[in-house]
Amino acid sequence: MFYISWNPSFGLTLLTTTITIYVAAVAMDGQEPSRKRLILVGAVIVNLGILIFFKYSNFFFNSLKDSLQFFNIDWQQPTLKILLPVGISFYTFQALGYCIDVYRGDRKPERHFGKFALFVSFFPLILAGPIERSGRLLPQFEEKKQFSYDRAVSGLLLFCFGLIKKIVIADRLAVYVNTVFGDIRAFNGSAILLAAYFFTIQIYCDFSGYSDMAIGTARIMGYDIMENFRQPYRSLSIAEFWRRWHISLSSWFRDYLYVPLGGNRVARLRWYFNIMIVFLLSGLWHGAQWTFVVWGGLHGLFLCAGAGFRKIRGTIAGIMFGAAGKPLAIAIILVGLAVSVSGYLLPPRWYGPDPRRLLYLEQIAIPLAGLCIAAAGFIKGFKQSAVGSLRKIMSIALTFHLVMLGWIFFRAEKMADAWYAVTHLFMGKQTLKLSAWYQPNFKRYEFIIAGLAIILLIVIDSVQARGELRERFAKLPAYIRWPVYQLLVIIVLLFGIFTQSKFIYSNF
């Protein structure tokens, strides 16, 4: 009832997936390998066919039309008014994962149709995941559930954290992001750059907020759902980012596509191919637009480049962070400071008359580069114990900005907008004055609230990262816990945005 309340016709696609996967799994039990493979292929074709029809039909016809127009071939594109069933990408992958597990012999087929249907359509997960595994969720349906006060409190607290992420942080930042990306060519580079930063935070809070609410709801009901996010923006590399971001999807592609393709047990070129296939398909899974495909391809390229240049990165790290004598270290520091100061001394005309010159190159880029050189010199000669911390900070910063670059393509409505945003991040008439970034619907106080909300996100992430804090908090006296609960509710009511209720990932 929960699912068909969105649209009764959605129930037909969900029922079709449930029946076909249930029948296929039961039919595979005890069959010869060739017969099992045939049944699996049939189930995969049917269910991926349903997904492709609803999600990618118009994408296919649009791409075909564009390709034919490139060769000056006029073609009348058929108009398909297809309504995408909510959550179809999530429950299709969850059901297919179960079917593949049965084929591999990792589990026996579930013969109770009601329990299997509940697995596919479990309401906390059906809209936007996490994509749960059958081996984790199905056995929990066999257990007799009893109300647990501690689990209910834990689930409610997690749900509240997710709600704050969504309507206090994500939806507030969305106001600015939607304004800029809605008409990208009307804004200068600094506004686009700020929108890119905001969207990087928005999409994390939006999606992890939903996951927290889904996991919290299931926990209240007595079910344990897999973790879907693990502080992804603290990652030291793109590979680590994907071990922390949308864990249920990345592990699904790893187990059901990457490993069957050979994983990392193949030659280097074949490994590059495997990585690119996985990430291109991952991008396409997110949406029927080339911007999503490019987003996935960028992450694949980042991973391949990281592996291909590992030795070079080690050499550079040795030069930057290796020990040095104090005279050399002092010389490096002086050079860095000189470079930093030069940015303020050189006249603007030194950069040429082009009004599209880099965003305050003389006030940001050059001084920042000089300070980095000076910091490296100081650590090389006087603070070798801080080398590890500096490398970690730089790795996190680099990974974060590579991810942010990808998010620009993810958010853009079309490739032309994404390319414009990327090529104009530091171009055009620039200013560092905050007042220049104000929009009609995003004034000074909105920036202040957004800044406080981001600080709140850091606090929430830190609490969630340290599970023992939640356990210790649950043991505190009621006169401490309840005021905190009331404070969380007040934060939601005072600072929440209640006009943007749709989750980004519910579109997928």
Tell me which residues are annotated as active site.
Answer: 286
Q: Which amino acid is at 257?
A: L
Q: What DSSP line would sit under 350-380, residue for residue?
A: GG-S-TT--TTTTTTHHHHHHHHHHHHHHHH
Q: Hey, what long-range contacts does 295-303 have (CB within 8 A, 24 or more apart)? A: 295/406, 295/407, 295/409, 295/410, 298/405, 298/406, 298/409, 299/238, 299/242, 299/406, 300/275, 300/276, 301/276, 302/238, 302/402, 302/406, 303/238, 303/239, 303/242, 303/275, 303/279
Burial 384-396 (b: 16+ CB within 10 A, else e): eeebeebeeebbb
Residue 34 to residues 20, 28, 103, 430, Cα–Cα distance (Å): 19, 10, 11, 65
Q: Which of 221, 288, 202, 208 is nearest to 248 (CA)?
A: 208
Neighbours of 439 (CB within 10 A): 14
Distances 406 to 283, 293, 333, 412, 420 between C-alpha atoms, Å = 11, 11, 34, 10, 14
Amino acid at position 210, single letter: Y
- With both helix axes pointing from N to C terminus, report the angle between 113-121 and 88-104 in degrees, rounded to the nearest 10: 130
